[in-house]
Structure 1
Amino acid sequence: MLKEVNWSVSRTYRSETECEPYQFYSDALIQSKSLDLLLGYFSSATISVLSGGFAVFLSSGGIARIVINDVLSDQDKHAIKQATQREAALFPIDLLNVKGLRKTLDDYGRHFFECLSWLIANQRIQMKIIRPKNRRGISHYKSGIFSDGIEQVGFKGSCNFTAYGLLENLEEMDVYLSWENGRSSQWINNQAEYFQKIFSGDADFVEYLDVNAVTVAIQKEFGDKTIGELLIEERELLERKRKFFENPLLQRTFDKVNAKLEYIIREPRFPYLDGPRAYQIEAYERWRKKGTKGIFAMATGTGKTITSLNCILQEFKKNSSHTYHALILVPTITLVDQWVKEVRSFNFQEVFKVSSKNDWQNELTTLVSTSKRISLSFIIVSTYASFVKDKFRRLVNDLPEDTIFIADEGHNLASPIVAEKLKGFKLQKRIGLSATPKRIYDPEGTQGMERFFDDREPYTFSFPMEQAIKQGVLCSYYYFPHIIRLAPDELSRYIEISNRLAKLSRFKRSPENDIIIERLLLTRKRIIHKATHKLPTTIDILTHQFQERGNLKYTFVYVPEGESFEIREEADELVADNIKLINQYTREIAKIDDNILVNQFISGMKDRQEILDQFQSGVIDVIASMKCLDEGVDIPRAEVAIFCSSTGNPRQFVQRRGRILRNHPEKDHAVIHDLVVIPDYTERNLDADTYALEKGLVKAELERVMHFASLSRNPYNAEDVFKSVCDYYDLNVYSIQNELSAV
């Protein structure tokens, strides 16, 4: 903050004294959020001279507004012209990479001017070019205001904002501190009003110019004496910058800037310049108010990971020991890697992975042992499967008490294996993450999760999909369910199993009967899951899309997969039956047209990121996947999804819907096709028990369908598709929807 700077006691800065103009600019830049400069001559070489300070300023979200006269170097004119033509928008700058930014700003070569163009084009540096109206002469201001968002520091002096003015001339400037006295505060207020009048375009005493009207400073026009004072020799001056910083009077300031740079390079921070969204701030505040324990019920795609990591960040900022401690549990190894990537985006340096694929034991044992004596930072990301192992549990027991415990897909905590290991769990700072905390199909998991996190509906923080779509966090979508009928042989087997289940339901429950019922339910589930007619329906949908759009770009196809896994590090897709299915779907999709490029995306592939990148760029048109795309993969460019899987797991469908609803600048909405298996009832006479059993199954499917439809752009389409089904089973879609709302 600006109040923390040791400003010149006299509030004056002069060349060749202990308080140089360079020192003022550097001290002010590294503490500011905004800078308004009212200038005469301007040269971007000054930004290069002050590269360290400007790198800190820009990476902290700072915005500079600059008014300049109509004399520029040829390079600066070209850079501004590029920016006005938006050519620089193609040149990416990572403002959070303060080390790389400083290097670019220090260079003053081609890369520097590309960087300057990008900063102007993206309004990190905003410029107005002026000259006096109806008068000869030029704009010759030399004043400005720095602000940290609370306090301001103003200055006025003789120094042009050029490298020559900063490095060579004998210059002086007077400084005004907003908190110091009424005179300084009044000067700053008057200066701010005057600057705003000019910058807003409302000043009737100046003429506003575009870059084409700028006069390029050249030796022929200005003469040798003026050249040194203006712009032409600044490249040579920059070569003398190193010698300039050898001045012992300036070394202290230079060291201070470098120290600030090193601090920012190592300091944990939010990964986006705009900071956390309002709802992410609210989530943290509610969690704190709840006693740092609770569930975050957040729709897939709304940033559960970022929201929970922001809690670690905010706790770190409040920690007097300046350390962070966290233990994060996730279902799969793939998610371990994805969480680690997100953790590192916050610039947390000490990150440890725990899974069957990592040799973690020695490193983590040393860490935990050392942390008992010295305050060390760490974030451990582990699979649930590794968490339940005794050798890891012993280490967890020795973690510091302020360690934040985050459970991704927190329902896993209720599994018997994990629940047993959580007895006597001492970590009290807890966050449970789930898109669907309240699960009708999993009451035990819901209750276990709620007990562990001491939370109930509406939960510590909720951010449902409806709210996310309304606020533009997720894009809107069209939803098209398609009824799939079973093939004759499938239907015959399905009827046989249903009849046996109906008979068994009449008997008193027993362990033996429960085992038989469970086996029959699984067999019937596989019939529905792998229904033969799903593939031709999928091809019909894609063929229609291709005829309508001329391509199949940005399309996901969720192919039916085999088993469903819970506490497993890797959901193995590479079983023979699964390989056969995904190969079959891939071949048939590719046959639609020779120009369609379709790729599989399954566990164990080494080139998965390359496939995703090619999909994002449109090289690959269609991705066929099973479970892999459920694992937190972020592909905002995806526009169309076909759900061929019928696992009976509503959570999976909710996750997949969230995957397709990520926002992208070139994406207005998403389209979801959902293949719903309904047995052919038209030619069947069902007994009362079988009818009741099937009615329950159909109702369960319609609950998911109506939930999807209710948030879509075309909510009434589903009602039309299922009208005859509802009539046969005496079901009402509105009653189903009301029941869902009441849950």
Structure 2
Amino acid sequence: MSYKKIELQRSYRSSKDLGTIVEQFYNPVLAKTSVYKRAVGYFSSTSLSVAAKGVAELIKNGGKMKLIASPHLEEEDIKAIEEGTRYKEKVIEDSLIKEIELTEDIKKEERLNYLAWLIAEERLEIKVVVHKDLRNAGIYHEKIGIMESFDNEQIAFIGSSNETAGGLINNFESIDVFCSWKDNDKERVEDKQKHFDDLWNNANELLEVMDVSKALKSELIKYQSSHPPSKDEDHIKEEKGGPKIPDELKLRDYQKEAITSWFKNNGQGLLEMATGTGKTLTAITGVVKLYEHLGKLAFVITCPYQHLVEQWCEDLRWFGINPIVAYSHYKWEPELIEEITDFNSGITDHFCVIMTNATFQSARMQKSLERVNSPVVFIADEAHHLGTKNSLNKLFDSFHYRLALSATPHRWFDEQGTEQLIDYFGGKIVFQYGLKKAIGKHLTEYYYHPHIVTLEEKEYEDYLKITQQLVKYYVEDKELSQAEMETRETLLRRRAKVIQNASNKIEVLKNLMENRTESTHNIFYCGSGKTENQRSLELVTQLLGKDLGMRVHQFTAEEDQKQRKKLLDQFESGKLQGLVAIKCLDEGVDVPATQTAYIISSSTNPREFIQRRGRVLRRHKDKKFAEIHDFIVIPRGLNSVDEISPNLFNLERKMLQKELVRFNEFASLALNKNVAENKLLEIKRAYNLMDM
């Protein structure tokens, strides 16, 4: 039990190579300590969990701790003391309770268990120190530490760190160490001992030191568990549980193959799996297996949207993982710092944080994640969203294990972003399971119904005017300037809006729905533009709800998480017959009860229409097959195509080529493939697109 057996340094500093001050100094010294005396500016329960191994040994060996700490008094606290409305002792007691972070969180309860056992066993005495002049003298900010071994050796240390998680782990800190058995240090050790004893005995003319009240001790002892604090990590894991694959989970063969492929690529790779085929459960199973193999693992998960975060949380908890949720209103930072602290110092063998992409890229989150020691697994859901230049720059090279998930990993018109993203996640797509394989086995079969819509006269005039302006930007062998290319893109976007907002879509939808007003489980996808100063979303909602008397509701970014859940529950039960959306049902929202989708408006981005089809094809006990009604806009009646100029014909042909990509894709896997393809033959013949 001698300190002399420890290779003590004269000073310790935070070090990436050597580890934290806790690992270098606290743990080995506390394990041989009989009395630990500490006077600090601030104190929190996290400091005991940071040094958990050492403190556990101190308790086991019959050691004791004496702590002098300064409470953090708010302005209103000082004012209450000055005005005599509250007793000083009561104000300080309340402040100390607040600092110690009394909570019902299970992991923080374990930290408080250290305090409770030390107090209950009379191993810990706490006193608080404040300036006698609360208003003008500032705060007590001294940091003294004295440790006495069972062989009556003494170590004194001074330095920048407080007895908090931030002080011991997260900040860059240093301490100087003095040993009583070294001639040059002996006098300094005696000085520090005297300083501490004077404080403890309230013998300092500037400071007031007082005992902690019985009320505070009683409050702390409530957190004393049936077992004493243990340095045995397996014991802690057994008490708290941990990541575990549920016994009732039965993975499909292709999910097992996906996990195997990821492991073969050294725990890196992208899984390209169709919407509805169980990407999330596959991913969680894979990383839990990795945790079981390594024995220690931090889980860092990011999703593009809040609703995806919430859905992941449900699945994670099924696996025994209690994630820190980080986005918008959640106050995640203090909890995450504590979890990282415990993980880095070996107190815990895992933690999980899940966030939106926006939070992941924030400066606060980036700074927090920089502190995490390996091993870390980074999981990106709908990973294609991370292919932007800014997102790619935020990815951590230090995260060795990487798993990306997407039904549509290839970014539209962004080959470079796609390539860089795949490179980061191990250089390849390690597993593919597309709709063609899944439909009829793990996804519902479907019927596809394309509907042809023409522009009204005023819309056609706008369309024609824009198209005629575009003609000069498509002259063969003419190289366009940057300004001309930008003008062309602007004109193309304006023309696309005319097509997207074609008012005849509402009339076609009305004709479709007049005999379906009793139907349920319908999703209506609208455009974001306006027709006659009304949004398409509002026009569709008015038609279905007011004109046809159906029970429908909009599903947009304006609804919060609680409202969305309520809407989805009502949709599932049939209380709501339909949901009217723009993009909020594109990615990640589970609506397996959906029987019919009406794609009133769609972009030509393959990711969008592939995701939408996936929403409809999820299996449900009450669904034998699904139906998709798709609206295709052509600028004019097909009988007038022969009358237009060659340049105008070519431009319209290019536009329809893009539209027909979606129709061909949807028709190719439909139960009524031949019927759907025949309906498009007239368009293909008119515009010489028979090769599509």
TM-score range, shorter chain: 0.5 to 0.7
Match status 1:285 vs 2:260: yes
Give the SS at the match of 2:514: helix
Which whole-Å CA distance do the structure 1 matches of 2:370 and 2:444 have between them? 43
> Bigger CA drift: 527-536 or 622-631?
622-631
- Alignment CA distance shift 1:421-1:274 (3 Å): closer
Change (3 A) 1:401 1:324: closer
Matched, 1:420 2:375: no
Q: Alpha-carbon deviations, 1:294-321, whole Å to 9, x = none? A: 110111111111111111111122233x
SS at the partner of 1:629? Answer: coil
Counterpart of 1:312 in structure 2 is 287
Given residue 676 of structure 1, which amino acid in structure 2 is its aligned partner? I
Equivalent residues of 1:543, 1:592 under 8 A apart: no
The TM-score, its normalising length taken from structure 1, stands at 0.57
What is the correspondence of 1:232-381 to structure 2 with a 5 Å cutoff? 266-271=241-246, 273-320=248-295, 323-349=296-322, 351-374=323-346, 375-381=348-354
For residue 666 of structure 1, the aligned residue among 622, 630, 635 is 622
Q: State the AA in 1 paired with 2:282.
A: T
Per the alignment, do residues 271 and 576 of structure 1 end up closer, same or farther by CA in structure 2, a change over 3 Å counting?
farther
Please say if residues 243 and 320 of structure 2, whose CA atoms lie closer than 8 Å, have aligned partners that are also in contact: yes
Residues 519 and 555 (structure 1 numbering): CA distance in 2 closer, same or farther, change over 3 Å?
same
Per-residue CA distance 1:402-432 (angstroms, 9 max, x = gap)? 211111222222202112223x622121111
Amino acid paired to 2:658 = A
Q: Which residue of 1 aligns with 2:563?
A: 607
Aligned to 2:648: 690
Q: Which runs of 5+ in 2 are unaligned?
A: 1-233
Q: Which moved more, 1:535-544 or 1:583-592?
A: 583-592
Give the deviation of 1:275 after TM superposition: 2.5
| TM superposition outliers: structure 1 runs of 4+ over 6 Å | 575-579
Which of 556, 572, 588 pairs up with 2:543?
588
Shift of 1:440: 5.9
Deviation at 1:367, TM superposition (A): 2.7
Q: Name the CA distance, whole Å, in 2 between partners of 1:577 and 1:406.
A: 44
The match for 1:392 is 365
User: 1:552: which partner in 2?
Assistant: 519
Identity of aligned residues (%): 31
Q: For the Cα contact (< 8 Å) 2:445–2:671, is it kept in 1?
A: yes
Paired residue for 1:725? 683
8 Å Cα contact 1:333-1:355 kept in structure 2: yes
1:116 corresponding residue in structure 2: none
Output the CA distance in 2 between the equivalents of 1:414 and 1:274: 32
Find the partner of 1:648 among 604, 626, 641.
604
Is structure 2 residue 485 aligned with structure 1 residue 495? Answer: no
SS of match in other structure, 1:484: strand
Does 2:358 match 1:382?
no
Q: Is 1:434 aligned to 2:406, yes or no?
A: yes
Give, in whole Å, the separation in 1 of the partners of 2:578 and 2:380. 33
Aligned to 2:375: 402
CA distance in 2: counterparts of 1:576 and 1:481, whole angstroms: 22
One-letter code aligned to 1:728 = A
Which of 487, 498, 504 is the matching residue for 1:516?
487
- Rounded to whole Å, the distance in 2 between the matches of 1:539 and 1:342 is 40
- Does the aligned pair in 2 maintain the 1:334–1:631 contact within 8 Å? no
Q: Tell me if the contact between 2:327 and 2:359 (Cα under 8 Å) persists in the aligned partners.
A: yes
Shift of 1:516: 1.4
Whole-Å separation in 2 of the counterparts to 1:318 and 1:376:
12
Change (3 A) 1:419 1:584: same
Amino acid at match of 1:357: H
CA contact 2:452–2:634 (8 Å) conserved in 1:
yes
In the TM superposition, what is the alpha-carbon distance from 1:462 to its structure 2 partner? Answer: 0.8
CA distance in 2, matches of 1:264, 1:469: 44
Q: RMSD of the alignment, in Å?
A: 2.7
Tell me if structure 2 keeps the 8 A contact 1:528–1:646. no
Amino acid at match of 1:601: F
Deviation at 1:509, TM superposition (A): 2.7
Distance 1:577 1:298, change over 3 A: farther
What is aligned with 1:705?
663
**1:481 and 1:307, CA in 2 relative to 1: closer, same or farther beyond 3 A?**
same
Deviates more, 1:527-536 or 1:413-422: 413-422
Counterparts of 1:363 and 1:703, CA distance in 2: 48
Q: CA deviation at 1:617?
A: 1.2
Kept after mapping to 2: 8 A contact 1:561/1:578: no
Q: How many Å separate the matches in 2 of 1:318 and 1:726?
A: 56
- Counterparts of 2:534 and 2:349, CA distance in 1: 46
Q: Deviations over 1:197-227 (max 9, x none)?
A: xxxxxxxxxxxxxxxxxxxxxxxxxxxxxxx
- Cα-to-partner distance string for 1:213-270 (whole Å, 9 max, x where unaligned): xxxxxxxxxxxxxxxxxxxxxxxxxxxxxxxxxxxxxxxxxxxxxx99x959834333
Mapped contact 2:343–2:351 kept (Cα < 8 A): no
Counterpart amino acid of residue 278 in structure 1: D
Distance 1:655 1:265, change over 3 A: farther
TM-score, normalised to structure 2, is 0.61
> What code does the residue aligned with 2:552 have?
V
One-letter amino acid of the structure 2 residue matched with residue 655 of structure 1:
Q
1:700 corresponds to which letter in structure 2? K
Offset at 1:677? 1.4
After TM superposition, give the deviation of residue 376 of structure 1 in Å: 4.0
Compared CA separation, residues 264 and 588, structure 1 to 2 (3 A): farther
Given residue 261 of structure 2, which amino acid in structure 1 is its aligned partner?
A: R
SS in 2 for 1:301: coil
d(CA) in 1 for partners of 2:649, 2:421: 35
Distance 1:578 1:404 in 2: 49
SS at match of 1:642: strand
Partner of 2:439: helix, strand, or coil? helix
Whole-Å Cα distance in 1 between the matches of residues 367 and 533 of structure 2?
Answer: 38
Contact kept in structure 2, 1:484 and 1:533, CA below 8 Å:
yes
CA 1:265–1:640 in structure 2 vs 1: closer, same or farther (change >3 Å)? farther
**1:696–1:443 Cα change, 3 Å:** farther
Deviation at 1:679, TM superposition (A): 1.6
- 1:441: Cα distance to partner? 4.2
Instruction: State the one-letter code of the partner of 1:358.
Output: Y
Counterpart AA for 1:604: E
Distance 1:476 1:328, change over 3 A: same
Match of 1:463 in 2: 433
Aligned residue identity for 2:516: Q
**1:86-123 deviation digits (Å, cap 9, x = unpaired):** xxxxxxxxxxxxxxxxxxxxxxxxxxxxxxxxxxxxxx
1:544 alignment partner, SS class: coil
SS in 1 for 2:516: helix
How many Å separate the matches in 2 of 1:263 and 1:279? 32
Deviations 1:645-667 (CA, angstroms, capped at 9, x unpaired): 22222211111111111111121
